A and B are shown apart, each in its own frame.
Chain A
Amino acid sequence: MTSNLIQNYIVNKPAGAKQSTGENKSPRKKPAPYFDIQHELNNKTFIKPLEGKGRLLNGNIFNAPAMMVKDVIYDAKAFKHAAKGEANDHELGKLNDVGLMLGGLAIAGYLASKKQTPMTKGMEFIGLGSFLASMAIWPKIAIQLPAYLIHGVNVQKEYEDSFGRKKPFYQDPQFIPWDLYSDKEIDKIGDRLGVPKNIPNRRDFIQEKMRKIAIQNNTLWMLTAGFATPIMSALICNQLEKPLAAFLDARKNKKADNILKHFDKYAKKYNSHSTEKKLAGIIEVYKDKPVTPELERLIQDTLTEGFDFVTEQNITKDLKKTFRLNRMYTINEKTSKIICENLRKQFNGKNYSEEFLNVILPKKEDMIRIMNNAELFNKQIPFKDLPKIDYNIITFISEKVAEYNKKVPADKQEDISLIKKILFSTTEKNHPTAKVRPQMIVNTLNEALQVKLKTVAKAFDDFKAKHNALNKYAVLKIGSAPETVIANYWNNTADDMLKILGLTPKEIEKGRLHRNVMGKILREKIEHIVSDDKTYKKVINEIVKKIAVINEKIKSKDLTNSMLSKASTSNKYDELIDDIFGKFAKKLKESNIEFIKTSEAICVTDERYSGGTLKQLQKTFVRDRLLGVKSSFYRIINTLDFYRRVATNANGIKGLENNPKEIKEELVELCKRMTIQGRSSDNTTKFYMLRNPNPSTKDAPLEVKDGKVVNEFFGHAAETTDIPGDKYFYQNAMTMMFDGEMHKDTLDALSTSSIKNEVKTYRQLILDKIGGEYYFAKPYHLIRDQNRTSSKIKFLLNGVPLDEFFYKTGQQAYNTRKWTKIFGGFGAGLLGVTVLAQFFFGKMKNPEVTNGVKND
């Protein structure tokens, strides 16, 4: 037992001078309420340090928010103190964390500003958050928790000192505030540490052991955090990517739906009235001034702003025509003089004498007289009457030439037709009167024209706003950009397809090397799936369910492809387009400024023709995107269905009957290849295949085992070649793949699905649009009537081939998996080593047990 040194000191205290009590002095500062110096002095006891107010902190999820708020307040105060130069070390240390956070936000903010989509922007902040979280979480899960479970010691314990400063308990191993732990608490930890009960100075021994464990763990923390934090942060980001994407996708979809639901509200929101505002500015400057070509160009630029190139061109044409037709000119003394000068210039370099020219060309006075006689001088002349000026001039000159010719011998007479050519057969730029026209213009930007333009500008703004709202909706839903609703749907569904088909990591790794390799793997996989009833039903149900999500994301009542959804061709998006474009075109046509070409380019009102307009573009943009995506996924269903039909009833497949066995084998083989690998070009070439030119005529049913045809002939022919003239072969193949009833299991899966009719229509469309293609190299290869389907529609209907689809999806999946395997594995190993190491910590030789000695 150690003696109490303080008590000894009090008892044997040497006599000293009495301390100044300061009784006669009034204290300058009021002491803290818990300390009454008079009471202490009157008590005649030893003046000892104030009792410590420190305490251990027990953090848990319930008091975490309160502690967090307290920390923020503390940081704010620390900043204030530091700015005044009054902060202490602890406060300055805290401000380093504030700086770290601020710098992190600056990085995330900057990088986010450079990203295009909400997802990528959001991931920058998630990256920062996960990094900071990893810095905090790693010592908790890899150091604190295992140490507590193994030794019963919380090595990350925190305490609050007498000044309210929160500090790690074991921060400085040389100055650990052990007095904050009661004997009972230390004893309990000692028991957990397995420290014998009856040893001298048990508390000291336990403390030493706790200290040792803490130092060892803190060192381990420093050695492992550098590896763990970035890896853990990256893994957290990896895991949070999908939930964030799902959240943003739902938000984006809702936003898009709202645009259609409250269309007028959004149209109003997108109406910036920019045309009206700009036009008002022009009117303010050019009010009642002549409408010069420069002003016309300014008005054109204002009205065409924000339109696509084709519409812009048509607006310009219409405006030019309108301005030209409405323009008024005048000829006065000044312009008469200029015209005379221009007439003279036309003869520069020509072989005519001065004398002759002086005779035939009008002078200023002549010109005024000519125009006066023609009632054109100082009159407002419309554009259509401008040729009258030239006519009167040429009449004057002709008369003068005739008079001249009468006076000279025949060999010196001049040809009037040649003079006419010199004068007026030229471009507008060099035309003696045309180039004076800008100076002849007299009509102004008057009240009437202002009203016309303002009306048009209002209509333009209104249309542009509605057009913008429609575009916003279309882009959010099916835009060809990252993170649109349809892009998210594609990515999610593609990822799920790998899992549903059960492609193993090894298969994905192999298949990512080339689409042909992936094609082979897929074929094996599908043949395996279709050969088992239970597996097929499960797989086809899951696939249909996943694919059908598209009709939840993009509802057919809002937006649809009329080719696929024949039953419901009417949808809100198309209705809005018809209404907006139709009304705008009508308004333009009826406006005082006749926008005939523009209205036709926007929306042809003639119902016989509906192609190539802005309205049609607006519709086909979304239709095509939907068709391409849906065809790609419906193709997967059709492929599985075809394989299933082969596996269960190959000989009953429509198109296969009435063929010898070898042809049947070839047909099935071709169809299996085409459903997985077929591209648009394969349809164009009517399926290239190396076949036996002299096939066996044996008529026998096909033998199928485990989803595969047991070939008797195919692959055994001595010689093979493509047979391009065999139209029946092509027809049979198309019929087998896309005609005839689907398998019952497939139909069952589709029966309750929203895509049932669309899949059916898709198969019909393939037959109609692709199967019926008229192709010059192989005429009459038709299973449907000839049609005028564009290559684009054929391409979209064909969809993405399965081998390519899974090859690309597999690459992404492989990359993610590989990365996760490398760093996830490393992280797991690091965690294991970190935890394992802790079993060797805190080893100390126990002191010898002394019986009967009570612990201090």
Chain B
Amino acid sequence: MILPISNNVQNKINFSAEGKGKEKKQLEYEHDTLLNNNPVTRTNIAIDKFQNMLTVYPAKGLKGSKNANFYEFLTMGTVPYLVGSATLMGVFNYANKHYKHFASVKASELGRKMALGVLLYAAFKGISKTFINTPVKLLTGIDLEQPYAKVIYELPDDVNDTDITSIEHHKVFESVEFSRWDLLYGDESKGEKRNFRYDKIAKKLGMGKNLKDSDQEVKPRIKEIVVKSNLAKNISSYLWAATGVALAFQQPWDDYFQVMTFKFWKGKEFKKSMSSFVKSLKKSAKAFYKGEGYGIKKQAGKILLFSAILSSVLGVVNTMSSSKKISKTDAADVIKKDDRYVVN
């Protein structure tokens, strides 16, 4: 479909995020910007995504907007997780109140553990990623979760639509094929050394200091590390999540469920509930590790826990094993400045 660009040109619409006029939308960023990976930024990004995935993106999607894109679709992918978790809890708990007392008590025992399992699944899955990210960052200087803000120029819905920019929050290494290498270069106008980030990584990786083209040297290695760490996170995070569910199914949680309350305004009760939570967590962790009975029933907890630990350890080891290798750039792949080439 041919887009009505001519109309826009005639109407002198400014396709830019630079908000000069008062009527223009003031965006936080004018161009793609690398963000600091700290709790504040992460919280802001999470809030922004949470708001958008429940409001803006579904609205755009349901209208079939021509500006709907893959990022929005992916961000909306969190909705089934959140709603699904709540529904899963509901499936095992909501109907219990209709049962007779004994059946209700028995069903609630299981239902509450299921609900806790859902929460611990998410918690363990989230936390487990730091088991890969943190060692990799410490050992290589590569921040696998480095966020950046991307300025998007959208197509106007009509000739009067001037709100054509938006911000998306991505990660520099979310794509191993199209990593945003450009954002990692220093801003020389601000006095930063162009390759200062790559220099740092090269040094951490043991490739030496003051390399002439540190960016070119470390990029293949960074890519390799990103791929391997992604594999490690994909596998280990689900094993940790399973460990969370298993932990939730321990008998000592029943003590907590007896006094459980979320009414924080009832100070004494809430304090007792929290104290019981901590105690039950400790006891459950012990029960999970020690197991009961004999054979596989007794060992299942240990097997699961050590599988999860092993997956994280092996993941880090595999990721780091590559970072010690010397770059294997094939001479045939090196572009010679004097020759001309055909791209096929």
Residues of B42-88 contacting chain A, CB below 8 A? 57-58, 60-66, 68-70, 73, 76-77, 79-88
**Residues of chain A lying within 8 A (CB to CB) of residue B83:** 225-227
Cα of A618 to Cα of B297 in the assembled complex, Å: 30
Cα of A82 to Cα of B103 in the assembled complex, Å: 49
In the bound complex, do residue A86 and residue B91 qualify as a contact, i.e. CB atoms below 8 Å apart? Answer: no
Task: Considering the complex, give the chain B residue whose CB is closest to the CB of A50.
Answer: B344
In the bound complex, do residue A107 and residue B91 qualify as a contact, i.e. CB atoms below 8 Å apart? Answer: no
**Residues of chain B lying within 8 A (CB to CB) of residue A171:** 70, 73
Task: Considering the complex, give the chain A residue whose CB is closest to the CB of B233.
Answer: A99
One of B132-140, B210-218, B334-342 at the interface: B334-342
Cα of A855 to Cα of B9 in the assembled complex, Å: 28
Residues of A173-217 contacting chain B, CB below 8 A? 173-175, 201, 204-205, 207-208, 211-213, 215-216
The digit string for A788-816, where 1 denotes a CB below 8 A from any CB of B, is 00000000000000000000000100110
Task: Considering the complex, give the chain B residue whose CB is closest to the CB of A138.
Answer: B80
Q: What secondary structure prevails in chain A residues at the interface with B?
A: helix
Task: Considering the complex, give the chain A residue whose CB is closest to the CB of B332.
Answer: A28
Contact of B87 among A103, A220, A231, A842 (CB under 8 A): A231
Q: How far is the CB of A80 from chain B (nearest CB, A)?
A: 10
Task: Considering the complex, give the chain A residue whose CB is closest to the CB of B339.
Answer: A20
**Residues of chain A lying within 8 A (CB to CB) of residue B1:** 201, 204-205, 207-208
Q: A29-B332, A106-B304 are in contact. Are A114 and B81 (CB under 8 A)?
A: no
Q: A47-B342, A225-B80 are in contact. Are A107 and B235 (CB under 8 A)?
A: no
Asked if B234 lies at the interface with its beta carbon under 8 angstroms from chain A, I say: yes
Q: What secondary structure prevails in chain B residues at the interface with A?
A: helix
Q: A107-B245, A216-B64, A815-B99 are in contact. Are A85 and B322 (CB under 8 A)?
A: yes
Task: Considering the complex, give the chain B residue whose CB is closest to the CB of A95.
Answer: B234
Residues of A56-114 contacting chain B, CB below 8 A? 79, 81-83, 85-89, 92, 95-96, 98-100, 102-104, 106-107, 109-111, 113-114
In the bound complex, do residue B228 and residue A230 qualify as a contact, i.e. CB atoms below 8 Å apart? Answer: no
One of B12-20, B26-34, B219-227, B264-272 at the interface: B219-227
Cα of A104 to Cα of B125 in the assembled complex, Å: 13
Residue of A49, A98, A220, A222 with highest tally of chain B CB at under 10 A: A222
Asked if A410 lies at the interface with its beta carbon under 8 angstroms from chain B, I say: no
The digit string for B162-205, where 1 denotes a CB below 8 A from any CB of A, is 00000000000001111000000000000000000000000000
Contact of B176 among A88, A113, A220, A513 (CB under 8 A): A88
Asked if B284 lies at the interface with its beta carbon under 8 angstroms from chain A, I say: no
In the bound complex, do residue B99 and residue A818 qualify as a contact, i.e. CB atoms below 8 Å apart? Answer: yes
Cα of A43 to Cα of B13 in the assembled complex, Å: 47
Asked if B130 lies at the interface with its beta carbon under 8 angstroms from chain A, I say: no
Q: How far is the CB of B174 from chain A (nearest CB, A)?
A: 9
Cα of A82 to Cα of B224 in the assembled complex, Å: 9
Asked if A721 lies at the interface with its beta carbon under 8 angstroms from chain B, I say: no
Cα of A433 to Cα of B243 in the assembled complex, Å: 65
Q: How far is the CB of B228 from chain A (nearest CB, A)?
A: 5
Cα of A106 to Cα of B66 in the assembled complex, Å: 42
Asked if A763 lies at the interface with its beta carbon under 8 angstroms from chain B, I say: no
Cα of A490 to Cα of B15 in the assembled complex, Å: 75
The digit string for B319-333, where 1 denotes a CB below 8 A from any CB of A, is 000100000001010
**Residues of chain B lying within 8 A (CB to CB) of residue A285:** none
**Residues of chain B lying within 8 A (CB to CB) of residue A201:** 1-2
Asked if B148 lies at the interface with its beta carbon under 8 angstroms from chain A, I say: no
Asked if B98 lies at the interface with its beta carbon under 8 angstroms from chain A, I say: yes
**Residues of chain A lying within 8 A (CB to CB) of residue B86:** 226
Q: A17-B340, A223-B79, A811-B100 are in contact. Are A107 and B227 (CB under 8 A)?
A: no
In the bound complex, do residue A230 and residue B91 qualify as a contact, i.e. CB atoms below 8 Å apart? Answer: yes
Cα of A95 to Cα of B87 in the assembled complex, Å: 26
**Residues of chain B lying within 8 A (CB to CB) of residue A85:** 223-225, 227-228, 322
In the bound complex, do residue A110 and residue B304 qualify as a contact, i.e. CB atoms below 8 Å apart? Answer: yes
Asked if A247 lies at the interface with its beta carbon under 8 angstroms from chain B, I say: no
Asked if B230 lies at the interface with its beta carbon under 8 angstroms from chain A, I say: yes
Q: A19-B342, A98-B234, A98-B235 are in contact. Are A215 and B176 (CB under 8 A)?
A: no
Residue of B178, B231, B235, B296 with highest tally of chain A CB at under 10 A: B231
Cα of A569 to Cα of B66 in the assembled complex, Å: 83
Cα of A87 to Cα of B235 in the assembled complex, Å: 15
In the bound complex, do residue B91 and residue A234 qualify as a contact, i.e. CB atoms below 8 Å apart? Answer: yes
**Residues of chain B lying within 8 A (CB to CB) of residue A100:** 238
Task: Considering the complex, give the chain A residue whose CB is closest to the CB of B288.
Answer: A110
**Residues of chain A lying within 8 A (CB to CB) of residue B94:** 822
**Residues of chain B lying within 8 A (CB to CB) of residue A823:** 91, 95
Contact of A114 among B63, B64, B300 (CB under 8 A): B300
Task: Considering the complex, give the chain A residue whose CB is closest to the CB of B321.
Answer: A85
The digit string for A810-847, where 1 denotes a CB below 8 A from any CB of B, is 01001100110011000000000000000001100000
In the bound complex, do residue A35 and residue B344 qualify as a contact, i.e. CB atoms below 8 Å apart? Answer: yes
Count of chain B residues near A, Cβ 8 A: 74
Task: Considering the complex, give the chain A residue whose CB is closest to the CB of B69.
Answer: A174
In the bound complex, do residue A110 and residue B300 qualify as a contact, i.e. CB atoms below 8 Å apart? Answer: yes
Q: How far is the CB of B107 from chain A (nearest CB, A)?
A: 8
Asked if B151 lies at the interface with its beta carbon under 8 angstroms from chain A, I say: no
Cα of A98 to Cα of B177 in the assembled complex, Å: 21
Cα of A172 to Cα of B342 in the assembled complex, Å: 30
Q: A35-B344, A50-B344, A222-B76 are in contact. Are A82 and B91 (CB under 8 A)?
A: no
Asked if A275 lies at the interface with its beta carbon under 8 angstroms from chain B, I say: no
Cα of A19 to Cα of B318 in the assembled complex, Å: 44
Q: A86-B227, A102-B239 are in contact. Are A218 and B297 (CB under 8 A)?
A: no
Contact of B77 among A83, A111, A222 (CB under 8 A): A222
Residue of A211, A225, A512 with highest tally of chain B CB at under 10 A: A225
Q: A92-B234, A174-B69 are in contact. Are A231 and B91 (CB under 8 A)?
A: yes
Contact of B230 among A20, A29, A82, A815 (CB under 8 A): A82
Q: How far is the CB of B151 from chain A (nearest CB, A)?
A: 16
Asked if A358 lies at the interface with its beta carbon under 8 angstroms from chain B, I say: no
In the bound complex, do residue A230 and residue B344 qualify as a contact, i.e. CB atoms below 8 Å apart? Answer: no
Asked if B144 lies at the interface with its beta carbon under 8 angstroms from chain A, I say: no
Asked if A219 lies at the interface with its beta carbon under 8 angstroms from chain B, I say: yes
Asked if B307 lies at the interface with its beta carbon under 8 angstroms from chain A, I say: yes
In the bound complex, do residue B64 and residue A841 qualify as a contact, i.e. CB atoms below 8 Å apart? Answer: yes
Cα of A502 to Cα of B66 in the assembled complex, Å: 57
**Residues of chain B lying within 8 A (CB to CB) of residue A841:** 64
The digit string for A1-24, where 1 denotes a CB below 8 A from any CB of B, is 010000000000000010110000
**Residues of chain A lying within 8 A (CB to CB) of residue B300:** 109-110, 113-114
Cα of A99 to Cα of B239 in the assembled complex, Å: 8
Task: Considering the complex, give the chain B residue whose CB is closest to the CB of A22.
Answer: B339
Asked if B273 lies at the interface with its beta carbon under 8 angstroms from chain A, I say: no
Cα of A110 to Cα of B85 in the assembled complex, Å: 20
**Residues of chain A lying within 8 A (CB to CB) of residue B341:** 19-20
Q: How far is the CB of A812 from chain B (nearest CB, A)?
A: 8
Cα of A113 to Cα of B99 in the assembled complex, Å: 28
In the bound complex, do residue A226 and residue B304 qualify as a contact, i.e. CB atoms below 8 Å apart? Answer: no
Cα of A814 to Cα of B103 in the assembled complex, Å: 11
Asked if A37 lies at the interface with its beta carbon under 8 angstroms from chain B, I say: yes
Contact of A512 among B63, B100, B224 (CB under 8 A): B100
In the bound complex, do residue B339 and residue A107 qualify as a contact, i.e. CB atoms below 8 Å apart? Answer: no
Q: How far is the CB of A809 from chain B (nearest CB, A)?
A: 13
Task: Considering the complex, give the chain A residue whose CB is closest to the CB of B323.
Answer: A85
Q: A95-B235, A226-B87 are in contact. Are A89 and B175 (CB under 8 A)?
A: yes
Asked if B249 lies at the interface with its beta carbon under 8 angstroms from chain A, I say: yes
Residues of A504-518 contacting chain B, CB below 8 A? 512-513
In the bound complex, do residue B95 and residue A818 qualify as a contact, i.e. CB atoms below 8 Å apart? Answer: yes
Cα of A86 to Cα of B325 in the assembled complex, Å: 14
Q: Could you jot down 8 A-B contacts, CB within 8 Å?
A: A35-B344, A37-B344, A82-B231, A106-B238, A107-B241, A171-B73, A226-B79, A230-B88
**9 closest cross-chain pairs (CB), A and B:** A226-B83, A103-B238, A219-B61, A85-B224, A212-B64, A106-B242, A82-B231, A172-B70, A226-B80
Binding site for A on B (CB under 8 A): 1-2, 57-58, 60-66, 68-70, 73, 76-77, 79-88, 90-91, 94-95, 98-100, 103, 107, 175-178, 223-225, 227-228, 230-231, 234-239, 241-243, 245-246, 249, 296-297, 300-301, 304, 307, 318, 322, 330, 332, 339-342, 344
